[in-house]
């Protein structure tokens, strides 16, 4: 049996540069791994090409809608991999919350299977396979702090964020990512160009300094809050608790904020949970910690 841990992500900066001809949006985003992880076990099944998924969460599909299912489908296509598999996903990352849970599971399973079965798949084919599954799956082959561009699938290593504590909170709603992107028009976010002020570059230039938190931006925050008013309640309670620099992750509904220490993060998470929100304390993971998590379970 293979056991892996797939870490969630935050978008510390997310800029939408414009709509593309293929219906996606051109992005620039600083992504960050955190130590909130799903646990995945992979067992072999005697029947070739058999695939069975199990999960502990009703809102997580166990058929072709699950990105792990798609990851294995594309891996079989790309490499002829035929091993029968039974995969159990113990989810801690909330589904459809902007924390990349499904994409992280898919990326981790891809990376783990390629390593375990020594599959003959080059770096670029692996990344192509990942990007067919979803725009942010390639990030989960890299991890740590990274800059993603294109529709999110072009991932470059970035300077690593120093160990940082975060508090996470979410209204426990299922956010539809496509709807939030379409809502950009609704929120009349001004169109940017690649020459617009580059918030990702500014953030990364200050990543070792506390001022970096002033430089966080998420262009999806306005449409997400407009479409899902319960996200506003999370921002309101965080503000009432004196938390600064709260920011939506991805298309939401999870909101995160950097805090002084793990203890402060834990205390805030208890108060937010008591107030009825899903909430967790977590810490950033650098690239080495990310790799260790996926490969040593």
Query: What string marks each residue from 37 to 56 as x (binds ligand C5P by CB under 6 A) or -?
Result: --------------------
**Among residues 3 and 20, whose Cβ is nearest to ligand C5P?**
20
Binding of ligand C5P by 61 (CB under 6 A): no
CA distance linking residue 3 with residue 189, whole number of Å: 43
Q: Count the residues of the shown chain that bind ligand C5P, applying the rule CB under 6 A.
A: 10
We find the least distance from the C-beta atom of residue 182 to ligand C5P, in angstroms, to be: 7
Which of 69-77, 115-123, 174-182, 285-293 is the region at the interface with ligand C5P (rule: CB under 6 A)?
174-182
Pairing of strands 217-218, 2-19: parallel
Is 9 known to be catalytic?
yes
Tell me how many degrees the CA angle 143-145-148 measures, rounded to the nearest 5.
Answer: 85
Binding of ligand C5P by 94 (CB under 6 A): no
Measured CA to CA in angstroms, residue 97 lies from 40, 141, 236, 281 at distances of 19, 20, 18, 16
Binding of ligand C5P by 27 (CB under 6 A): yes
Binding of ligand C5P by 178 (CB under 6 A): yes
88, 172, 177, 189: residue in contact with ligand C5P (rule CB under 6 A): 177
151, 206, 245, 291: residue in contact with ligand C5P (rule CB under 6 A): 151
Q: Are 269 and 167 in contact (CB under 8 A)?
A: yes
Contact partners, residue 220, CB within 8 Å, separation at least 6: 14, 16, 180, 181, 184, 248, 250, 251, 252
> What is the token pair recorded at 190?
């001004």
Q: Which residue is nearest to ligand C5P (CB)?
A: 178
Q: Are 48 and 295 in contact (CB under 8 A)?
A: no
Is 136 known to be catalytic?
yes
> What is the token pair recorded at 197?
């002020």
CA distance linking residue 171 with residue 82, whole number of Å: 41
We find the least distance from the C-beta atom of residue 82 to ligand C5P, in angstroms, to be: 27
The catalytically annotated residue of 38, 91, 105, 136 is: 136
**Among residues 25 and 91, whose Cβ is nearest to ligand C5P?**
25
Binding of ligand C5P by 11 (CB under 6 A): no
Binders in 125-144 for ligand C5P, by CB under 6 A: 134-135
We find the least distance from the C-beta atom of residue 135 to ligand C5P, in angstroms, to be: 3
Pairing of strands 255-259, 165-170: antiparallel
CA distance linking residue 206 with residue 130, whole number of Å: 30
Interface positions with ligand C5P (CB under 6 A): 24-25, 27, 134-135, 151-152, 177-178, 181
């Amino acid at each position: 049996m293979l056991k892996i841990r797939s870490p969630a992500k935050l978008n510390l900066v997310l800029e939408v540069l414009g709509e593309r001809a293929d219906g996606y949006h051109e992005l620039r985003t600083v992504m960050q791994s955190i130590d909130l992880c799903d646990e995945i076990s992979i067992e072999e099944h005697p029947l070739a090409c058999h695939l069975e998924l199990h999960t502990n969460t009703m809102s997580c599909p166990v058929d072709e809608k699950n990105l792990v299912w798609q990851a294995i489908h594309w891996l079989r296509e790309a490499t002829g991999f035929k091993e029968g598999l039974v995969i159990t996903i113990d989810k801690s990352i909330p589904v459809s919350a902007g924390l990349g849970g499904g994409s992280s599971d898919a990326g981790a399973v891809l990376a783990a299977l390629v390593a375990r079965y020594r599959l003959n798949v080059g770096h670029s084919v692996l990344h192509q396979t990942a990007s067919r599954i979803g725009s942010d799956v390639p990030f989960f082959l890299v991890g740590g702090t990274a800059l993603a561009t294109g529709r999110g699938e072009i991932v470059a290593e970035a300077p690593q964020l120093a160990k940082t504590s975060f508090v996470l909170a979410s209204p426990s709603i299922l956010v539809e990512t496509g709807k939030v992107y379409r809502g950009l028009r609704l929120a009349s976010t001004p169109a940017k160009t690649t020459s617009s002020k580059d918030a990702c570059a500014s953030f990364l230039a200050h990543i070792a300094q506390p001022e970096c938190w002033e430089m966080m931006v998420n262009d999806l925050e306005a449409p997400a809050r407009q479409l899902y008013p319960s996200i506003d309640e999370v921002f309101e309670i965080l503000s009432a608790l004196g938390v600064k620099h709260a920011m939506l992750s991805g298309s939401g509904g999870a909101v995160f904020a950097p805090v002084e220490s793990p203890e402060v993060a834990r205390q805030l998470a208890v108060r937010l949970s008591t107030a009825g929100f899903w909430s967790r304390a977590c810490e950033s993971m650098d690239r080495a910690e990310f790799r260790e998590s996926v490969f040593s379970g």
